[in-house]
C-alpha cells in the first residue's frame, strides 16, 4: 500500500470562518494532508442522508496535518458544510485527481492564474513551487487573480510571499479593470513579461481564453477542470471531458476529470 492510496476518512473540523459573504474557509484535521498534491481535490459527504453524492472541493492548502478547503455556498450541500464548526466531523474521500506536475515549472517563468473559485488551489501550488530548490526551481513566479469586485476578494493577501501578484476585477474596484486575460496581456504589453508556463483554474470561459492565449503565444498551459461528478474515483464515467487524442483508459476521446484530471494540458482537451 502506497501512501498515495485513495481512502475514506473521518476528518475533524479544526475551524471554519467566512472569508466573504458566501466564501468559507474550512480547516480539517486528517492524515490525507500529508499526501495532498496541489491541484488535487477531496470528496466531502453531506451529513443529511438525503444528499448522497459527495461534493468535490479542491485542496487550497495543507499544513501540520490539516487540509484547508476554501469553497462557496452554492447549494443545499455546501450550505450544510457551512454549518460545520470546531469539534464536528465530516466524512470524506481523498486525495483525488492528478494535481499539477511541478516538473513542468523547472527553470521557467511561471504564471498561476485563478478566477473566482479557481483561486484556492493556486495557494498550495504556489507555496510548493516557491519551496522548490536547486534545479527544480522555477525562474520566476507570478500570480494573477480575478475577482468580480472589491467586495468579493478573498485569499488575495496570501500570495505575496511567492512573487509578483496581479489582481483584476470586472468593475476595476480592485486591481486592473477587466479579466485575468486583460491583466496578462497588460503585463506583456507594458512590462514585456510573458510566462513560459501557465497554471490556471477558474470558470470555463476563463480557461478557454487561457487556452487560446497559450496557443497563440506557443506556451504551455495546464488547466484544472470541473464537471458534475458522482463517484469521484473513476468508476462511474460521469465527469468526462472531450480530448484531442484517444484516451488510454476509455479508448475514446473522453478522459475522466476525476482521475486523468482535473489538471489537463490545455492543448489536449476540447472545451
Residue 237 binds another protein (CB under 8 A): yes
Closest of 93, 121, 107 to residue 28, by C-alpha: 93
Residue of 54, 56, 115, 262 that binds another protein (CB under 8 A):
54
Residue 234 binds another protein (CB under 8 A): yes
Residue 145 binds another protein (CB under 8 A): no
CA dihedral angle for residue 85, residue 56, residue 126, residue 206, rounded to 10 degrees: -120
Which residues lie below 8 Å from residue 242, measured CB to CB, with a gap of 6+? 253, 254, 269, 270
Residue of 15, 51, 148, 185 that binds another protein (CB under 8 A):
51
Q: For residue 71, what are the CA distances in angstroms to 45, 67, 110, 218, 225?
A: 14, 13, 25, 33, 15
Min dist. Cβ of residue 31 to another protein (A): 15
Closest of 81, 67, 77, 180 to residue 123, by C-alpha: 67
Stretch that binds another protein, among 28-36, 158-166, 210-218, 244-252 (CB under 8 A): 244-252
Residue 239 binds another protein (CB under 8 A): yes
Question: Alpha helix locations (H) across 140-203?
Answer: 180-191
Residue 195 binds another protein (CB under 8 A): no
223, 207 in Cβ contact below 8 A?
yes
Residue 253 binds another protein (CB under 8 A): yes
Residue 40 binds another protein (CB under 8 A): no
Residue 8 binds another protein (CB under 8 A): yes
Residue 162 binds another protein (CB under 8 A): no
Distance CA 42, CA 40 (A): 7
37, 49 in Cβ contact below 8 A?
no
Min dist. Cβ of residue 14 to another protein (A): 24
The interface with another protein within residues 199-228 (CB under 8 A) comprises 227-228
Question: Alpha helix locations (H) across 40-179?
Answer: 76-81, 120-131
Min dist. Cβ of residue 11 to another protein (A): 15
- The smaller minimum CB distance to another protein, of residues 5 and 192, is found at 5
Binding mask 79-118 for another protein (x = CB under 8 A): --------------x-------------------------
Site residues (CB under 8 A) for another protein? 5-8, 45, 49-54, 77, 93, 227-241, 249-254, 259
Amino acid at each position: 500500500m502506497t501512501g498515495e492510496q485513495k481512502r475514506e476518512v473521518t476528518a475533524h473540523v479544526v475551524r471554519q470562518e467566512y472569508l466573504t459573504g458566501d466564501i468559507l474557509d474550512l480547516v480539517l484535521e486528517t492524515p490525507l494532508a500529508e499526501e495532498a498534491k496541489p491541484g488535487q481535490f477531496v470528496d466531502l459527504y453531506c451529513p443529511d442522508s438525503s444528499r448522497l453524492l459527495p461534493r468535490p472541493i479542491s485542496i487550497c492548502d495543507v499544513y501540520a496535518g490539516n487540509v484547508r478547503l476554501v469553497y462557496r455556498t452554492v447549494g443545499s450541500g455546501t450550505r450544510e458544510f457551512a454549518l460545520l464548526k470546531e469539534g464536528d466531523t465530516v466524512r470524506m474521500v481523498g486525495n483525488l485527481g492528478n494535481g499539477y506536475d511541478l516538473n513542468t515549472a523547472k527553470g521557467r517563468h511561471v504564471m498561476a492564474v485563478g478566477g473566482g473559485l479557481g483561486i484556492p488551489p493556486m495557494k498550495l501550488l504556489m507555496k510548493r513551487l516557491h519551496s522548490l530548490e536547486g534545479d527544480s526551481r522555477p525562474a520566476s513566479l507570478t500570480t494573477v487573480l480575478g475577482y468580480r469586485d472589491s467586495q468579493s476578494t478573498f485569499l488575495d493577501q496570501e500570495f505575496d510571499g511567492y512573487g509578483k501578484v496581479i489582481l483584476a476585477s470586472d468593475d476595476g474596484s480592485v486591481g486592473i479593470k477587466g479579466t485575468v486575460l486583460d491583466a496578462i496581456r497588460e503585463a506583456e504589453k507594458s512590462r514585456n513579461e510573458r510566462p513560459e508556463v501557465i497554471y490556471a483554474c477558474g470558470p470555463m470561459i476563463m480557461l478557454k481564453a487561457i487556452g487560446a492565449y497559450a496557443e497563440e503565444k506557443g506556451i504551455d498551459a495546464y488547466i484544472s477542470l470541473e464537471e458534475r461528478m458522482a463517484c469521484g474515483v473513476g468508476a462511474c464515467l460521469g465527469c468526462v471531458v472531450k480530448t484531442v487524442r484517444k484516451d488510454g483508459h476509455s479508448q475514446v476521446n473522453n478522459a475522466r476529470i476525476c482521475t486523468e484530471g482535473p489538471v489537463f494540458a490545455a492543448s489536449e482537451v476540447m472545451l
